[in-house]
Amino acid sequence: MEKSDYNQTNMGTPQGGTISPLLANIALDQMETDLIEYLRGIKGWKGKIGATTVSIRTDKKTKKSYRVRNSLKTDLVRYADDFVVLHEDKEVIEESKRFIGKWLEIRGLTLSEEKTKIVHSTEGFDFLGHHIRHYENRIKGTYKLKLLNGTPTEQRRAKTTHILRVEPTKEKVKLHYREISDTIWKLKAATPSELIRILQPKISGWANYYKTVHYGYAFGKLDMFLWRRLYQWACRKHPNKGKRWVANKYFCMINGRKWTFAEIVGKGKDKKIVKHLKGYSKHKERTGSHARVGYDRSYYDGDTAYWAERLSKGYGNITPSKAKMLKRQDGICPLCKCRFTNTDLPEAHHIHQRHLGGEDTYKNLVLVHLHCHDKIHRENPGIKGKTVSQTSPELQGLLNNGMAPAFQAEGLKPPTSTNTVLSLGGGAGRIITPASDIKPPTDTSTVLRTGKDAGIITPASDENKET
């Protein structure tokens, strides 16, 4: 579109379009393999480049195994059309640049002269919004002596000459703060609740992207800027009030952190915090705790078990709330006991149903497959008019799993045994107790336990069948 006129696009794709990264991946797929083969083919360079032998490495903490190429001394890291070539020898990097330039010409592409440069790791470079650089190790004095007498990891940290740091670039920090500041300025007449609702996704999204690197300096600076901007916003709304009055109305202490922006209702003993803004420093994660992807892995390689495990650790195209539930459930659906795969549609299910008085919190949510969620509500429609507080203790185990027993509508007495099981097959909704004459169903091998084991789905054992 130019000057409000639409012009038909006969060829090419729009810059920044959704298909652009896909086309870049298709065009640049073999770049790493061809580069390594070319460099190893140069006479006398096999020792410089290393071997492409694949070995299996097992992580000592997680006990997980993945394929690596330990002997390879060069590396190419690529994300769509952005890539970095790493090697300790400058001659290898210069030869790689010449080869990649010719390799791209065959495909009708060229290297950007402005963005392409050769730098030393101590100078640092920007990649995907991160600044990667080797800094001189400044650990000395008594702290260095303490590390030298510590664990092998601490000893290596004290002896190393340089330390690698990956942190958000200054440009990205400035752009993000400008966006937050402009948003607050546009919402001069908004209520605290509306301001929190609009700002929180922006803050959480940016912080979650950078929380796996060295974020301390950037997050602390943004928290200070955010507080200053929100305080200006609050003072502007009440120009005739004092600073202490404004601070007590819009800021409070939550989890030991002072000056947290919140929507506060009431005064004195009746003071209540309705909603508060989660700052940048609250999105903390141990640096380097992200899971590593194997060099030969692809999201569409058909290995559903591997990518289901990745999803259970909070990765993939899912929301942070569903990722949190996947981590808690270890990537397993509690109803069908099958792992979530990269093609499944996970759905959040309220354990205590909302119309029974259940809360919309993580403690009351569980992630199930979409078809499992439909099955739960189809076979167990619920008990209308009843609240959780009015439910007898015997039924509490069933309600803890979001299953409303059908027998209550029939006027039958609730069970009194803790060994009660609820069938998930053809007998769904029927309660089997030792005192009843009803025999347990035999058409399914899955039962839902109540009592002290409420919420645990296990294969039906002989003990269960006897009861």
Domain residue ranges in the chain: 22-118, 170-282, 304-381
Q: What is the pLDDT of residues 53-63, one digit of tens each?
A: 888 888 777 67
State the number of CA atoms in the 13 A half-sphere of 65 facing the CB: 3
The pLDDT score that the predictor gives to residue 402 is: 42
The pLDDT score that the predictor gives to residue 272 is: 87
Name 251's bridge partners. 261
125/79 Cα distance (integer angstroms): 16
Q: Is the pLDDT of residue 288 over 60?
A: no
Describe the strand order of the beta sheet including 272-276 as a list of residue ranges. Answer: 251-254, 257-265, 272-276
Tell me which DSSP letter residue 356 carries: G
Q: Is the pLDDT of residue 318 over 50?
A: yes
Mean pLDDT of the chain: 77
Name 449's bridge partners. 421
Q: Are 405 and 376 in contact (CB under 8 A)?
A: no
Q: Is the pLDDT of residue 391 over 50?
A: no
Average pLDDT over residues 189-212: 91
Average pLDDT over residues 126-150: 93
* Residue 68, H or E segment: strand 65-68
The pLDDT score that the predictor gives to residue 161 is: 92
Instruction: Identify the residue with better confidence: 243 or 299.
Output: 243
Kindly report the CA angle at 53 between 51 and 55, in degrees rounded to 5? 135
What is the pLDDT confidence band of residue 427, given thresholds at 50, 70 and 90? very low
Instruction: Identify the residue with better confidence: 9 or 466.
Output: 9
Instruction: Identify the residue with better confidence: 314 or 89.
Output: 89
Instruction: Identify the residue with better confidence: 293 or 436.
Output: 293
Spatial CA neighbour of 86 closest among 114, 140, 50: 50
318/301 Cα distance (integer angstroms): 19
37/46 Cα distance (integer angstroms): 10
Average pLDDT over residues 361-388: 73
125-127 and 82-86: which strand pairing? unpaired
Question: Where is mean pLDDT largest: 17-26, 295-304, 451-460?
Answer: 17-26
Name residues whose C-beta falls within 8 Å of residue 211's C-beta, 6 or more positions apart in sequence: 283, 284, 285
What is the pLDDT confidence band of residue 374, given thresholds at 50, 70 and 90? confident
Give helix then strand counts, H and E, for the chain: 15, 16
What is the pLDDT confidence band of residue 24, given thresholds at 50, 70 and 90? confident
Spatial CA neighbour of 295 closest among 53, 47, 7: 53
H-helix segments, 42-169? 46-49, 90-106, 142-148, 152-159
What is the pLDDT confidence band of residue 150, given thresholds at 50, 70 and 90? very high
* The model's pTM: 0.66
Instruction: Identify the residue with better confidence: 77 or 8.
Output: 77
179/311 Cα distance (integer angstroms): 30
Name residues whose C-beta falls within 8 Å of residue 289's C-beta, 6 or more positions apart in sequence: 212
Looking at residue 37, its amino acid is: E
The pLDDT score that the predictor gives to residue 403 is: 43
Percent of the chain whose predicted confidence (pLDDT) is above 90: 35
The pLDDT score that the predictor gives to residue 8 is: 67
What is the pLDDT confidence band of residue 38, given thresholds at 50, 70 and 90? very high
